[in-house]
Amino acid sequence: MPLYLFNCDTCGDYTRRKSIHDNLSNDTCPKCEKTSSRVYTTFMTNVMDKKLSKAIESGMEPKVMKKSELPKNNIKSKSKISRPWMN
Ligand SMILES: [Zn+2]
The pTM is what? 0.47
Distance 41 CA to ligand 1 centre (A): 19
Max CA distance (Å), the chain:
55
Distance 83 CA to ligand 1 centre (A): 34
Distance 35 CA to ligand 1 centre (A): 8
**Whether 4 contacts 15, CB under 8 Å:** yes
Distance 55 CA to ligand 1 centre (A): 28
Distance 65 CA to ligand 1 centre (A): 43
**Whether 6 contacts 38, CB under 8 Å:** yes
**What pLDDT tens digit does each residue of the chain (87 aa) get?**
888 899 999 999 999 999 988 998 999 999 999 999 998 765 554 555 667 767 767 776 666 767 777 676 655 655 666 777 766
